[in-house]
Structure 1
Amino acid sequence: MASQAHQIHFVLFPLMAQGHMIPMMDIARLLAQQGVIITVITTPHNATRFKTILARAVDSGLQIHVIQLEFPSEEAGLPKGCENIDMLPSPDLIFNFFTATCMLQQPVEKLFEKLTPRPRCIISDMTLPWTMNLASKFHIPRISFHGTCCFCLFCMRSLYISKLLESISSETEYFVLPGLPDQIEIKVTKAQLPGARTTRLKDFNVQMMEAEVASYGIIMNTFEELEPWYIKEYKKARMDKVWCVGPVSLCNKNDLDKAQRGNKASIDEHQCLKWLDSREPNSVVYACLGSLCNLISSQLIELGLALEASKRPFIWVIKEGDKLQEMENWMAEDQFEERIKGRGLIIRGWAPQVLILSHPAIGGFLTHCGWNSTLEGICAGIQMLTWPLFADQFLNEKFVVQVLKIGYRIGVEDPLKWGEEEKIGVLAKKEDIKMAIDRLMDEGEEREARQKKAKELSQMAKEAVEEGGSSDLNIKLLIQDILEQASGGNPN
C-alpha cells in the first residue's frame, strides 16, 4: 500500500482556530508518514503558526505542502488581518467569521483545478460545510474531521433520535441522557449541550449537518480502546466509515515538536523544564482553560487566589487578550507574583502544553475539557480537575468524570455565552476551587484510583498509535479505502 499511497493526494481544510488546526496538522503528518501527498489550505497568518513544525516534517522527507489564500476578513465585516477565531475583537463577530470562511469556496475551486497530482480526497473540518460542494464538483470523497469524542457524538445523536429535547422547555432543568450503556446515568441541561444558545448560527448549523450527512466518512481524534462501545455504535450509524486515528498529539515525539505544537510558546521550553525539574513528582497543578477562555477578570482572580491558597506548586496559563492587561494590573497591585515566587509559574499567552503535561512533576490538570486538552491529559496519564466553559466541554466533563473516572468536578453548572460574560459573573469562588484542588491532589484512595486508571489509559493510548495498534491500522485502512475509491469511481 505504501507504494500506491505515494501517488495519492489528500487536501486538508482546517478551521482557523487553534483547537481545530492543531490536530489537523498532526493528521497531515500521520498521513504523510504513510506516503500520502498532503496539501493544506489555510491563510497567511495561520500558516505562520505551524510553519516551523511543518518545515521540520518536510525536511524529514514528508510531502506536505501549504497553500495560503487571502482571508476575506474586511469583506465579511471583520477587522483587517483577523484570520483566526482567537483574534476576534468581539464574540458577536463569530457569524462574520464563518461568513468569511464560506467566501473561500470560489478561490479554492479555481485552485483545485490546478492541483497536481489530482486530489483524491478532501479532509475538512466539520465547520466548513462548503467543502462538500467542492467534493461533489470534483467527484471525490469528503472526510469530515470531528474535534470531539464519540461519546459526545453518540449523546447528541441519541437526543436527536429520541426527540427528548422537544419536551424540555427549560434551559437549566437537568435530564438523563438517553441510550447510554450499563445503566450509566448522566444528567445534563439543554444549556450545557453543544450548539446551545447559537440562534444567529442556526442556518449555518443546518448547513453543517447537511454536509455531515453527505460526507463519505468521519476521521476522529480518539482511539478505540478509550471508548469502544460509543465508537461501535457511532460506526453503525455511519455505515462503518469512521476512522479513529488518535491520540494524534503522540506523533510529536521530541521536546522540540512538543514545545512548538500549535504556536510559538510564550515561555522558553528550557526555562519551563528547568522549573518543573525542581519539583517533586506528581506535585504540580497545571491550570489552563484553553485558547478561547472568556472568563471575566474577577473570575480569573478567584482562580489565582485559589491556586495560591492551595499551598501547592502550580503553573497557571493566562491567555493573551484584553483580560491579560487587567490581570497584569491586579497582579501588580496585589503583589500576587511576589507572594507566589518560587512556588508558582505564570505563562502569559501560549503554553507548550504537551511538553508540560508529559513531565513527571505534574500531578493534576485543571482543564476546560476541550477535547484536545482532555486527550493530552489522558496521554500523559494525568488526573483532571474539570471546569467546562461551553460547546462540547460539559459532555467531555461527564465522560472524564463519570465514564472514565479520571477526573473531579469543580462544580460549574452554567456555560458561558460569548458576549454575556459580565452578566453571568463569577461561577466558582476561591474557596470552592481550592477545595476541589485539595480533593484532587490529597493522598487517598480516590486519588490513587484516578491515577491508576489514568496511567492505564495512557498506556492504551501509546499502544494505539504504535505500529500495528488500532489507530495506526485505521490510518492505513482510511488510505486503502480512498485508494479503492480512486480506482473504482465516484463515491458521492
Structure 2
Amino acid sequence: MSASTMAPTQQALAGAATSQPPHFVLVPLAAHGHLIPMVDLARLLASRGARVSLLTTPLNARRLRDGGVTDKAARAKLLLEVVELPYSPADYGLPPDCQNADMIADNAQMLPFFLALRELAGPFEAYVRALVPRPSCIISDWCNSWTAGVATYLGIPRLFFQGPSCFFSLCDLNAAAHGLHERIAAAEDREPHVVPSMSVSVKVGNGRPHGFFTSPGCKELRHDAVAAMRTSQGVVINTFLDLEEKSVACYEAALGKPVWTLGPFCLHTRDGDDMASRGGNKSGVSERAIVTWLDKQAPESVVYVSFGSVARKLPKQQFEIGHGLEHCCRPFLWVVKESELASPEARMWLESLEARTSGRGLVVRGWAPQLVVLSHRSVAGFVTHCGWNSVLESIAHGVPVLTWPHFADQFLNEQLAVDVLGVGLRIGVTAPVMILNDDAAAPVLRGDIARAVSELMQGGEEAEERRRKAKEYGAKARKAMEKGGNSYERLTQLIESFRHGGGKDNEHCSGVIA
C-alpha cells in the first residue's frame, strides 16, 4: 500500500513508526543465571538508542527495581522498562513466591516450575497485542518456547537467547541432529556417545550431563523448545568471536540462521553501582566491606569461591570446602547461600571456621557482587560451578578458573574452559548431581580441594600459562565490546536489522486483531 492510498490514521502511525526507535521485547527465563545476562542485554540495547521492554514475573520485577535497574535507566534517559506478567505458581502446587528458580525448595518442584511458566503465554500475548506499533523484535530465552506462537501469529521477528556457551549450543544441536538425546533416554542404552562434528572429543550419556530439558518428564518441554528454535530468525549468545570463533561458525552453519555474538555483556556494566547491584539480590556483607577486605590482600593472592544461584550444598560438602580452603593457606572469599545454613550445626561450624581464618578468609552469606570481586586486583582464581555467566565473567576479567560443574551445560562449559581455551583446571568431578542438595553420595574431599586450589594459585609453567591465556582473552573481550570491536559492531547491525520491523502489516499497528 502506497502512502497516498493510506488512511490518515495509518499514515500517521506509519510515520510515527519510522521516527521511533526500534522496540525490543526481551523475555528471560525466570532464573537468576538467565535473567542477569538479559538485563545486561537490555541495558546494551537501550544504551545504543533502542527501546527495550523486559518482561518477567512479579518477584523478578521487584528485585530488579529494588536493585535500581529502572531508576538508573531513567537517570541515564534510557528507554528501558521492566514489565510484570501475572503469574500463579500455586496452580501447579508451588508456593506463591516460587517465581524464580532460586526459590525452588526441592528437586520435585523443578518440573512443575517450568510447566507453570508456560502460563505466562497469555499475559505475554495480551501485552504484545496492546503495543502500538508492534515491537520490532522479540528476544526470548531458549527455554521460553511459549513466546513462539504469539510472535509467529503477529508476524513479529523473534530471536532466541541461548544462555550457555556457543560450544555447548553446537554440541547440543549436533547431539539432537544425530538422535543422541533419544538414544540416551532409552533405559537400555547406558553407554556414552561421541558427539560428531566437534573440535574436541565430546561424550554425552546418562552419566554425563548433556543440556536442558533432558531429565525424565521433560520430553514435551524439550520438543517445544527445539521447535521454537527452528522457527526463530536467529540466536543471540553472550560470547565474543575471538573466544569461540570455530564454534560460532559451525553453529551458524548447522543452525542455518544468524548467530549474534554480542558479549561479554558484563563488560558494558562498568559503573561500580551497576556492578554491585546486578540481579537485585542482597547480602549480609556490604560491597564496601568486601572491597575493603580485598584491598588489604596482596595483588593476585585471593581465590574466589561461588557456585551460582541454584545449586545448594549439603553440610557434609560445605565442611569439606571450608576445611579445604583453610588447609590451602591462601586468602579466600567464599559465598555461602543462606539456604545452606539452615541447620544450627552448619551455622556454628561456619562461625568456628571464620574465627580460625580471620583476616585470611571472608565468608559472604547470601550473595556477592561478583563483577566487583573478579575485577579486583587481589583476585587471581575462581572456583566455579561453570555456569556460563561465571566462566565468561572470569575470562573477561582475566581470571583463570577451577572448575566444579554440577548439571545441564556446566560440564561442557568446563571442557571449553579447560581443553579448548586453556584457562581452567578441573577439580576432578566426573558425575552430575541433581540440582538441589544432592552431593552427599560423592563429595569432593578437603584434601582434593586444597591441592586443586594450590595448583590453580601457585607458580609454575602450567599455572602461569593459564593466567597468561586468561589475561589475553580478557584483553580481547574488552576490545570486542569497544567501538569498532566485533561485538560492538554486531550489536549495531542487529539494531539496524530490526529498525523497521514490527508486525505483519500496517493494519495490525492499529491494535485491532481478529
TM-score, scaled relative to structure 1: 0.93
Question: What per-residue deviation string (whole Å, max 9, x for no partner) do you get for residues 274-320 of structure 1?
Answer: 10000011110100011111322211211111001001100000112
**Moved beyond 6 Å, runs of 4+:** 165-172, 487-490
Structure 1 counterpart of 2:267, one-letter code:
L
Which residue number in structure 2 is paired with residue 448 of structure 1? 464
Find out whether 1:13 has 2:30 as its counterpart: no
Which residue number in structure 2 is paired with residue 383 of structure 1? 400
Q: What is the deviation of 1:157?
A: 2.1
Q: What is the deviation of 1:410?
A: 0.4
Distance in 1 between the 2:111 and 2:128 partners?
Answer: 26
Find out whether 1:394 has 2:411 as its counterpart: yes
Structure 2 portions without partners, runs of 5+: 1-16, 507-514
Q: Which of 443, 454, 460 pairs up with 1:427?
A: 443
- Contact 2:157/2:502 (CA < 8 Å) preserved in 1? no
> Alpha carbons of 1:25 and 1:454: their partners in 2 closer, same or farther (altered >3 Å)?
same
Which residue number in structure 2 is paired with residue 207 of structure 1? 224
Q: Which of 459, 473, 480 pairs up with 1:464?
A: 480
Structure 1 portions without partners, runs of 5+: none
> Alpha carbons of 1:106 and 1:185: their partners in 2 closer, same or farther (altered >3 Å)?
closer
Q: What is the deviation of 1:431?
A: 0.8
> Alpha carbons of 1:166 and 1:130: their partners in 2 closer, same or farther (altered >3 Å)?
closer
Q: Mapping of 1:137-148 within 5 angstroms? A: 137-148=153-164
Q: Percent identity?
A: 39
Q: What is the deviation of 1:334?
A: 7.4
Which residue number in structure 2 is paired with residue 265 of structure 1? 282
Q: Which of 250, 269, 279 pairs up with 1:233?
A: 250
> Alpha carbons of 1:22 and 1:327: their partners in 2 closer, same or farther (altered >3 Å)?
farther
Q: What is the deviation of 1:465?
A: 0.7
Structure 1 counterpart of 2:74, one-letter code:
V
Q: Mapping of 1:95-174 within 5 angstroms? A: 95-163=111-179, 173-174=191-192
Which residue number in structure 2 is paired with residue 223 of structure 1? 240
Q: How many residues align?
A: 484
Which residue number in structure 2 is paired with residue 290 of structure 1? 308
Distance in 1 between the 2:344 and 2:388 partners?
Answer: 27
Q: What is the deviation of 1:167?
A: 6.6
Question: What per-residue deviation string (whole Å, max 9, x for no partner) do you get for residues 317-358 of structure 1?
Answer: 01121x222376354487211111111100111110011000
> Alpha carbons of 1:96 and 1:248: their partners in 2 closer, same or farther (altered >3 Å)?
same
Q: Which of 322, 326, 347 pairs up with 1:304?
A: 322
Which residue number in structure 2 is paired with residue 412 of structure 1? 429
TM-score, scaled relative to structure 2: 0.89
Aligned with 1:448: secondary structure? helix
- Contact 1:197/1:417 (CA < 8 Å) preserved in 2? no
Which residue number in structure 2 is paired with residue 277 of structure 1? 295
Aligned with 2:26: secondary structure? strand
Could you tell which deviates more after superposition, 194-203 or 447-456?
A: 194-203
- Contact 1:21/1:262 (CA < 8 Å) preserved in 2? yes
- Contact 1:310/1:434 (CA < 8 Å) preserved in 2? yes
CA radius of gyration, larger in: 2
- Contact 2:314/2:437 (CA < 8 Å) preserved in 1? no
Distance in 2 between the 1:90 and 1:185 partners?
Answer: 34
Find out whether 1:339 has 2:353 as its counterpart: no
Could you tell which deviates more after superposition, 245-254 or 46-55?
A: 46-55
Which residue number in structure 2 is paired with residue 480 of structure 1? 496
Question: What per-residue deviation string (whole Å, max 9, x for no partner) do you get for residues 17-43 of structure 1?
Answer: 110110000111111112111111112
> Alpha carbons of 1:333 and 1:295: their partners in 2 closer, same or farther (altered >3 Å)?
closer
Find out whether 1:372 has 2:389 as its counterpart: yes
Structure 1 counterpart of 2:302, one-letter code:
V
Distance in 2 between the 1:164 and 1:487 partners?
Answer: 37
Distance in 1 between the 2:236 and 2:347 partners?
Answer: 44
Q: Which of 344, 348, 351 pairs up with 2:368?
A: 351
- Contact 1:299/1:425 (CA < 8 Å) preserved in 2? no
Distance in 2 between the 1:438 and 1:163 partners?
Answer: 42
Aligned with 2:363: secondary structure? strand
Structure 2 counterpart of 1:444, one-letter code:
G
> Alpha carbons of 1:188 and 1:407: their partners in 2 closer, same or farther (altered >3 Å)?
farther
Aligned with 1:144: secondary structure? strand
